[in-house]
Amino acid sequence: MNELELKKLWQTTNDRLDENLILSKRNSEDIVGMKVYGIIGSMKPIKFFALLIGVFWVGIGGTALSSIYLNSFSEANKIFLFSASFQVGLTAIALLVYLYQLITIYHVDITDPVIRTQEKLLNLKMSTLWVARILLLQLPVWTTFWWNETMLNEWGVLQWTISLFFTISFTAIAIWLFFNIKYENRNKKWFQLIFSGKEWTPLMTSMKLLEQVEDYKG
Amino acid sequence: MDKQAQRHLFEGIIDQHKGILFKVARAYCPDEEDRQDLIQEMMIQIWRSIPKYNSQYKISTWLYRISLNVAISFYRKNSIREKRHTELTEQLAETLEDKSENEKQLNLLEQFISELKEIDKALMILYLEDKRYAEIAKILGMSVSNVGTKIGRIKDQIKLRFSQLKIIRQ
């Protein structure tokens, strides 16, 4: 089939479209009458809910921790306090990255050339990896929250060995993941295993698209 | 721009150029039900973008940018579609038997286009719509020479698919 035949064949879709063009007047009237939603209005409820929980968690956690630092630092369990501060701090940073993502996506100009727009959107989607990296850094503190000063005096070698084994392992895993969760490793098996769930599909699809965009820019 | 003028322009654009939206939507979304959502999303984006319309661009260039950007983003968010896509391919093979030769060829062309990578697909639609390379370059944001190279490669790919099918049929 030559070029002319291909184009001629494609033009016949016009006949088919005529049959299918049931673009109802109501459809466009709905859009014309539609309110222009802001960022919050255009978010999926589940994401909005997750954002609210995050803000609530950081708000409550931040307030409680500040109060301990200011009023009862000397009596507080320091290990718990530092673990909790680290956890709340990292969640706050992850929230900020997420908010930045939301605001920037909302301001991307959809009328810009396709490759430029897609590159912007895909790079923003890639920043989801930053959220994952930051949140995974919290791993070690989940093993130290419950430590207290009594343990330091009373625990034997075996108890400490088990406890430190988990803390050191989790720290090593968290640091390794922090440095290795990146676009360049997208084709590695461990990467695909971590990001294999349904909720990660848009991210993995974005990576494939980004490869295409890079190919077109090259 | 006041609301009335925006409304007038929007309805005019949709009425005159709805074919662009439908063709892009067909290429990116084989499933009828999802396609309605995609077209709706394209229309919403057109409505929102009207106040920013820059008259230095042709309306069709502007519309292709919006519809292709929306379609590619839609694909990214709804990759469940890929599975359905495979099912549809199987259905297509079964239903082709009852159609005229031209319809069969058209179905195959659409099928081959839908198998292309997302940006290759955009390029092929524009090429088949007989757009000049310079306009394609403006819509996609790439150099004219790159447009020529890529189109050549995709055309070969599609021709190969047609010839492979011919061999199978014989």
Candidate from A22-36, A81-95, B4-18, B148-162 with smallest mean pLDDT = A22-36
Residue pLDDT, tens place only, A62-89: 999 999 999 999 989 888 999 999 999 9
Nearest residue of A to residue B60 by CA position?
A111
Sign of torsion over alpha carbons B138, B140, B141, B145: negative
**Domain containing B59: what range?**
3-169
- pLDDT tens profile B24-73: 998 898 888 888 888 888 998 999 899 888 888 889 999 999 999 999 98
Place of tokens 């990578």: B117
Exposed (0-12), middle (13-18) or buried (19+): which is A82, by Cβ within 10 Å? middle
| Cα A215 from Cα B69, distance rounded (Å) | 17
Q: Cβ contact (<8 Å) for A212 and B119?
A: yes
Q: What confidence score (pLDDT) does residue A25 get?
A: 58
CB contact under 8 A, B110 and A31: no
pTM here? Answer: 0.80
Mean pLDDT of chain A: 85
CB B10 within 8 A of CB B47: yes
Q: What residues 101-140 of chain B have any CB closer than 8 A to a CB of chain A?
A: 102, 105-106, 109-110, 117-120, 122, 128-130, 138-140
Q: Which residues of A touch B40 (CB under 8 A)?
A: 27, 31
Residue A13 with chain B: CB contacts under 8 Å:
23, 26, 106, 110
How confident is the model over B79-92, as pLDDT tens digits? Answer: 544 544 455 555 55
* CB-closest option in B14, B73, B140 to A113: B140
Higher pLDDT among residues A207 and B84, named by residue: A207
Cβ-defined contact of A31 to B43 (cutoff 8 Å): yes
Q: Is 50 exceeded by the pLDDT of residue A102?
A: yes
Which of the four pLDDT bands, split at 50, 70 and 90, describes residue A36?
A: low
Helix, strand, coil fractions of chain B, as percent rounded to 5:
85, 0, 15
pLDDT at A16 over 80: no
- Identify which of A63-67, A195-199, B166-170 has the greatest average pLDDT: A63-67
CB contact under 8 A, B140 and A216: yes
B22 touches chain A (CB under 8 A): yes
| Cα Rg of chain A, angstroms | 26
Number of domains in chain B: 1
A207 CB within 8 Å of a chain B CB: no
Answer whether B72's CB lies under 8 Å from B28's CB.
yes
Query: Chain B residue with minimal CA distance to A34?
Result: B44
With contacts defined as CB-CB under 8 Å, which chain B residues touch A1? 105, 159, 162
Residues with Cβ within 8 Å of B99's Cβ and at least 6 positions away in sequence, in order, are B107
Of A115, A201, A212, the CB nearest to B141: A115
Rounded CA separation A93/B79 (Å): 29
DSSP B117-138: -HHHHHHHHHHHTT--HHHHHH
> Angle formed by the axes of helices A3-11 and B144-169, to 10°?
90
- CA A204, CA A192: separation in Å to the nearest integer? 8
Averaged pLDDT for residues A104-121 = 88
Nearest chain B Cα to A116, which residue? B141
Concatenated DSSP letters for chain A? --HHHHHHHHHTHHHHHHHH----HHHHHHHHT-----HHHHS-HHHHHHHHHHHHHHHHHHHHHHHHHHHSTTTS-HHHHHHHHHHHHHHHHHHHHHHHHHHHHHH--TTS-HHHHHHHHHHHHHTHHHHHHHHHTTGGGGGTTT--HHHHHH--HHHHHHHHHHHHHHHHHHHHHHHH-SGGGTTSHHHHHHT-SGGGHHHHHHHHHHHHHHHHH-
Task: Identify the pLDDT of residue A42.
Answer: 57
B62: part of which helix (H) or strand (E)? helix B59-77
User: What pLDDT digit, counting tens, does each position of A133-170 carry?
Assistant: 999 999 999 999 888 888 878 888 998 999 999 999 99
Give the pLDDT of residue B91.
55
Taking only the tens place, the pLDDT of each residue in B155-165 is 888 888 888 77
Lowest-confidence region among A17-31, A111-125, A129-143, B108-122? A17-31
Which range, of A177-181, B33-37, B50-54, B102-106, averages the lowest pLDDT? B102-106
State the complex-level ipTM: 0.84
A151 in B contact zone (CB under 8 Å): no
* Interface membership of A27 toward B (CB under 8 Å): yes
Q: Report the Cα B27 to chain-centroid distance in Å.
A: 4
Inter-chain CB proximity A116 and B141 less than 8 Å: yes
A216 touches A115 (CB < 8 A) = yes
Confidence class for position B123, pLDDT limits 50, 70, 90: very high
Candidate ranges A9-13, A29-33, A161-165, B12-16; pick with highest mean pLDDT: A161-165
* Closest Cα in chain A, distance from residue B140 (Å): 5
- Non-local (6+) Cβ contacts of A180 within 8 A are A191
pLDDT at residue B84, as a whole number: 46
Q: What is the DSSP letter of B96?
A: G
